[in-house]
Amino acid sequence: MNHTAAGPTDPPDRVDSRLINRRRFMERGIFALFGGLAAILGLPIVRYVLSPIFGIKEDLALSTQWAPVAPLSEMEKVEDIPKTFHVPYRIFEGWRYRDVSRPVFAVKEGGELVLFSAYCTHLGCPTFWDLPRGTIVCPCHGGLYNNLGQVVGGPPPRDLPRLVYKVENDVVYLKSPAEG
């Protein structure tokens, strides 16, 4: 049978050992409490110190509004043949963010850069530029678009939608990458 409290008949060394155990328990509890507080308060400092490393992740978190597509120098090489870019961004799913990407086409129209969606307007399959045929092709049901994303054949009901972009610090950003 276990006794938890010192009785009047317990020998003095047994009473001492119980007091020491209790003191140790309390000390550990206090250490754990302060350790937890230090971790909570220290987290922003650690985050600040490591922020250069996690900068890219933070950029992606912002990418729900503006997602980086490519440096302007790379876009300037684009001509009248659509070039596909895979744009990374984040979506909020349930209780966490998930990194995803989407394909977009970039092309020059009258010297101006144009971005448009690579998702077919029929049922949303990703399309691709078919160089030998000189058209954008949807592999699902044979939808065809010209180099500017205008429907030229198959079931798609509409042209591929144009997308809004901006240039900032010599980088091209796509607006609201989860849409369109």
Q: By the criterion CB under 6 A, which residues form the site for ligand FES? A: 120, 122-123, 125, 138, 140-141, 143, 154-156
CB of 176 to ligand FES, least distance (A): 22
Between residues 24 and 141, which has the closer beta carbon with respect to ligand FES?
A: 141
Smallest gap from residue 157 Cβ to ligand FES (A): 10
User: Smallest distance, Å, CB 116 to ligand FES?
Assistant: 15
Q: Whose Cβ is closer to ligand FES: residue 67's or residue 104's?
A: 104
Local structure of 12: helix, strand or coil: helix
Residue with the two structure tokens 């922003």: 44
For 30, the 3-state DSSP assignment is helix
Look at the block and give the residue holding tokens 């971005």.
115
Q: How far is the CB of 127 from ligand FES (least distance, A)?
A: 7
Q: How far apart are CA 117 and CA 5, in angstroms?
A: 75
What's the CA gap between 163 and 180, in Å, rounded?
A: 7
- Choice between 63 and 117, CB closer to ligand FES: 117
Write down the least CB distance from residue 141 to ligand FES, Å: 3
- Structural contact between residues 67 and 88, judged by C-beta atoms closer than 8 angstroms: yes
The residue among 66 and 105 lying less far from ligand FES, judged by its C-beta, is 105
Helices (H) and strands (E) in the chain, counts: 2, 11
Q: What is the CA radius of gyration of the chain?
A: 31
CA angle 143, 145, 149 (to 5 degrees): 130
Q: Which residue has the tokens 């276990």?
A: 2
- Specify the residue, 88 or 155, whose C-beta has the smaller distance to ligand FES: 155
